[in-house]
Structure 1
Amino acid sequence: MSATLSPELQGWVGRSRVVEEDVGLAAVRRIAGMLDLDPAGFRNGDPLPPHWFTLFFADAARQSEIGPDGHPQPGVVLPPIPLPRRMGAGRRVVIHECLRVGDTASKTAEVAAILPKQARTGFITVLTMRHTIRRGTDLIAVDEFDAIYREAVKPGETSGTGAPLPAPAGAAWRVEKHLSPTLVFRYSAITWNAHRIHYDADYARQEEGYPATVQNGGLTMQLLLDAAIAHTAGRLAGFTARLTRPIYVGDTVALCGTAPQDGKVTAWVEDRDGHLCAQLDCSFT
């Protein structure tokens, strides 16, 4: 493998496509139920929580375009990066306005960067997508999302996570959350995510080297943001996120965070062994 970007992949940088979405009441009520909120509490015209735009605008690839891992095949909606394993790593989000129930909105998905590199765990490529959410001419949010592509695991090898980091001490609040199979399934259904590591234990173990089915990173961020908002006054204006360690379906984790200081809050996910699994730095106004 070379750490130089091929001309084919270089040609993808700057490409964009538009995904349109009707933010329908039925979908909003399904999301509310999945998050253990009252579905009947939402009506047409109601503003949604500011970070809920991440639950819409899924790519609707045809079934014949789905690859063996459950993702759309390389080159269908994302660049044909020649590495088989893809996982979310982090994101940087600025939120300007909230979506409302009944909105017609759009996401412009742009390939912002493709960076091949030699990492400690092997050859990787980092793909950065920039998602711009609009309702007509109104800017709702700009979301830059990083995904890491890795080499296939060798026979008998496990997916390496590196040395674990300890979770921060001195949380101002702490909420335990059980990541049940039904919760992960419902989130995957809502976001139209068919990545097999989230529901196919044999595939996760045999093909990608994990010990069990893997928690969805988007759901981890969703739950942590929900907890941070519940414990902080003001409106969420943006956040950065970093996923540091896999969590597995069926785990119980702690969602923790600091008290707000100058509109800033740090929140994190801690596993049962006290390891840091994800961290958010949030801004509130």
Structure 2
Amino acid sequence: MQPTSPAPLGSYVESWTPGPLTDEDPLATGPVAALSAALDLPGTVAEAGDPLPPLWHWLHFLTWPAQRDLGADGHPLDGHFLPPLPDRQRMWAGGRCEITEPLRLGTPAVRVSSLASVTAKRGRTGELLFVTERREFRQGGRTCLVEEQDIVYRSGRSTGQHPSAVDESALPRPDDPWQLPLRPDPPLLFRFSALTANAHRIHYDAPYCRDEEGYPGLVVHGPLLALLMLELPRRRAPARQVRSLSYRLRHPAFAGEALAACGTPAGDHAELRVATHREERHATAEVTFA
């Protein structure tokens, strides 16, 4: 008997049409203060009325599934915008954000999430499903920012091509005018997982990373790389408001590696990236200033 070919990923989502979902959050100051402490930001005190830095809304509108509803990898088994794929594997690819005005701490906000697009594509490692989720954030009856997140799914477990070991002594040597070094360690990854309600084991379970996913060590969160890039304009051009941004997560980085967020401003925009001695572009971003 000939083995049957796996069903195309698109066939699993032909009738999958999740409707919009509305959530509320008080935008408490605690998460901002906690992430500021984790990143060693000097003298940062979060108070009601302060503007949320770009992408820091990821600290809010969190969901905590019951423990029984997590998969073996720590990721939720089901969710409103999780496609019905067998043995689903998830990767955050990137996103975009338009900021009309920053959200303000201490003022309740509403998030309206919807499914923007679902596209099946074939990549080097097989068939992939690209899901884009759109989120509108409103405060005081006004739409303050609109975000799109691109998530890639595959069916079945697989490991990518990763280095067998990480050289923790090597340093990136960029020459960009904006630079911010960071050497993420396991405590930082643990704190960021807790602040973003992320229970995926690749960020805290080193034996799982090596034995099940094929990584040489703990994986730095893609969102943490994005936030690190956005720290460059926040610290180096604090008077300029980010009006729009886009980012792409390209290659994983690992705990213990020396990272450098690098940026080049040019007029009303800036090009950003995260580099190590292994890769010049683990993540890339572009911001446009108001």
So what's the TM-score if we normalise by structure 1?
0.88
Q: Specify whether residues 12 and 205 from structure 1 end up closer, same or farther in structure 2 by C-alpha distance, changes over 3 A only.
A: same
1:176, distance to aligned residue in structure 2 (A): 1.5
8 Å contact kept, 2:32–2:56 = no
- The counterpart of 1:27, out of the listed 28, 31, 49, is 31
* 1:171 counterpart SS class: coil
Question: Residue 137 of structure 1 corresponds to which residue in structure 2?
Answer: 141
1:30, distance to aligned residue in structure 2 (A): 1.5
Q: What pairs with 1:60-79 in structure 2 (closer than 5 Å)?
A: 60-75=64-79, 77-79=81-83
| Equivalent AA in structure 1 for residue 31 of structure 2 | A
Alignment RMSD, CA only?
A: 2.4
1:147-169 deviations in Å (ceiling 9; x for gaps): 11134446xxx41369xxxx997
- Indicate yes or no: 2:257 matched with 1:251: yes
| Equivalent AA in structure 1 for residue 215 of structure 2 | Y
CA distance in 1, matches of 2:19, 2:257: 38
- The counterpart of 2:277, out of the listed 268, 272, 275, is 272
* Number of residues of Structure 1 aligned to a counterpart in Structure 2: 276
Q: Specify whether residues 39 and 81 from structure 1 end up closer, same or farther in structure 2 by C-alpha distance, changes over 3 A only.
A: farther
Of stretches 133-142 and 12-21 in structure 1, the one that deviates more from structure 2 is 12-21
Q: Specify whether residues 98 and 92 from structure 1 end up closer, same or farther in structure 2 by C-alpha distance, changes over 3 A only.
A: same
8 Å contact kept, 1:114–1:127 = yes
Report the identity percentage: 34
| Equivalent AA in structure 2 for residue 160 of structure 1 | Q
1:178, distance to aligned residue in structure 2 (A): 0.9
8 Å contact kept, 2:135–2:146 = yes
Q: Specify whether residues 211 and 274 from structure 1 end up closer, same or farther in structure 2 by C-alpha distance, changes over 3 A only.
A: closer
Question: Residue 160 of structure 1 corresponds to which residue in structure 2?
Answer: 161
- Indicate yes or no: 2:163 matched with 1:146: no
- Indicate yes or no: 2:243 matched with 1:237: yes
1:75-98 deviations in Å (ceiling 9; x for gaps): 455222335321111101111121
8 Å contact kept, 2:173–2:277 = no
CA distance in 1, matches of 2:122, 2:230: 32
Question: Residue 127 of structure 1 corresponds to which residue in structure 2?
Answer: 131
CA distance in 2, matches of 1:216, 1:112: 24
Contiguous gaps of at least 5 residues in structure 1: none
* 1:276 counterpart SS class: coil
CA distance in 2, matches of 1:69, 1:22: 30
8 Å contact kept, 2:131–2:150 = yes
So what's the TM-score if we normalise by structure 2?
0.86
